[in-house]
Amino acid sequence: MAQDLKRKEHEAVRQAVGIYDFTHQLLEVTGKDAGVFLDKLFVNGFSNAKVGQAKYTTMLNEEGIIEDDVIIFRLSNTCYWISTLYIDKMIAHFDAVKKEEDVAYRNRTPETSMIAVQGPDAHKVLNRLLAEPVDDVKHFYMADNRLGDQEIKVARSGFTGELGYELYIQPDTVEETMKALEEAGKKVGVSVTRMTTDAILTSLPREKGYVLMSDLEGTNPLEVGFDWTVNWKKDFIGKAALEKVKKEGAKRALLGFKTAKADLAIEAGTPVKKEGENIGKVTVFTEGYSVGGGIGYALVDLAKAKKGDTVTIGEVETVLTDRVFYDPDDERMKG
């Protein structure tokens, strides 16, 4: 029954709209040097970001290893929001590296909740509900809007591989907003499903190749395909170590694999073998409802295996592939 419900919710997002409280911890960074400070801490560049723009990025230690992966929004010339799951660790890191920069930061999680509205018909529901239509909100941007008497922010990013929006609202309005979304769906003929299973963290994002920190543990950005996030023109903590990796080439890669069945004894940490030799480990395995069978990621040693190689995981033979199984050209996200 649990798997049936998960499949139903997964398909609701793929075919119509799914909604869920996806509140992350939110760190607000302000000050004249806020952008420069974030440039130092993260591999992507933020002092040159447009107001309203969001960027995905990672925070490294001096060895070039990923400490956190986050989305950062630029709200104004001197204000940024960082969406993270490890805010205490981030604040401690900020405190440790802050020098004379004119920058301040505070945890604004208690005053901000976030509802994800995901699926091909998400814009229809939101256009019915909000004061301003969301059609002009670009992917990885945030805009001001209104929900009744409440001033809110609407971001467009998504963690499902579908057209997706996130509503940043007051915490005490979450339930009434959920109900309002369901009512708006009825008025425009769209089925709106409240998500209750872990499909929002497993089948939906994994089909699209998205990662969690559990996949990134102990890796650097070049090993996991995040070359595109690195701004090499600026300095950042861990840059020297990462430049060495760039020069020598990444030693490992986070690849994908598929199995005909999903009910297999494969879990995070399961060894990946080639011709009997351990060449890596599984970081995640789940059912891929839209692509069929089981899907997973494997962190493998590139000196011993590469994309296209046949490997053994558990008792099953499979082929290492790219880890994006669903909509590789991002057509669904474009709406």
Domain 251-327 CATH superfamily: Aminomethyltransferase beta-barrel domains (2.40.30.110)
DSSP codes of every residue in 67-101: EEEEEEEEEETTEEEEEES-HHHHHHHHHHH--S-
User: Would you state the structure tokens that stand for residue 54, as one six-digit string?
Assistant: 């969001």
User: Would you state the structure tokens that stand for residue 18, as one six-digit string?
Assistant: 């799914």
Q: Is the pLDDT assigned to residue 1 strictly greater than 80? A: no
In the chain, CATH 2.40.30.110 sits at 251-327
User: Is residue 75 within 8 Å of 83, Cβ to Cβ?
Assistant: no
Closest CA to 286 of 271, 268, 302, 273: 268
Please give the pLDDT value at position 107: 98
User: What is the reported pTM?
Assistant: 0.96
Mode of pairing for the β-strands spanning 104-107 and 25-30: antiparallel
Q: Which secondary structure element, helix H or strand E, spans residue 293, and what is its range? A: none
Q: Is the pLDDT assigned to residue 149 strictly greater than 90? A: yes
DSSP 8-state secondary structure symbol assigned to residue 53: B
- Mean pLDDT computed over every residue of the chain: 97
Dihedral in degrees, nearest 10, Cα atoms 215, 331, 131, 142: 40
Q: What share of the chain is helix, strand, coil (3-state, %, to 5)?
A: 25, 35, 40
pLDDT grade for 271, boundaries at 50, 70 and 90: very high
**What percent of the chain shows pLDDT beyond 90?**
99
Cα–Cα distance, 321 to 255 (Å, whole number): 6
Domain 25-110 CATH superfamily: Aminomethyltransferase beta-barrel domains (3.30.70.1400)
DSSP codes of every residue in 181-195: HHHHHHHTT--EEE-
In the chain, CATH 3.30.70.1400 sits at 25-110
Please give the pLDDT value at position 323: 98
User: Is residue 151 within 8 Å of 144, Cβ to Cβ?
Assistant: yes
Q: Could you read off the pLDDT of 150-206 as tens digits, one per residue? A: 999 999 999 999 999 999 999 999 999 999 999 999 999 999 999 999 999 999 999
Sheet containing strand 192-194, strands side by side: 141-147, 150-156, 164-169, 113-118, 17-21, 192-194
3-state secondary structure of 287: strand
pLDDT grade for 3, boundaries at 50, 70 and 90: confident
Closest CA to 268 of 311, 301, 297, 291: 297
Q: How many CB atoms lie within 10 A of CB 40?
A: 19
Please give the pLDDT value at position 29: 98
Sign of the Cα torsion 28, 31, 35, 39 reads: negative
Q: Is the pLDDT assigned to residue 335 strictly greater than 90? A: no
Domain 2-23+112-200 CATH superfamily: Probable tRNA modification gtpase trme; domain 1 (3.30.1360.120)
In the chain, CATH 3.30.1360.120 sits at 2-23+112-200
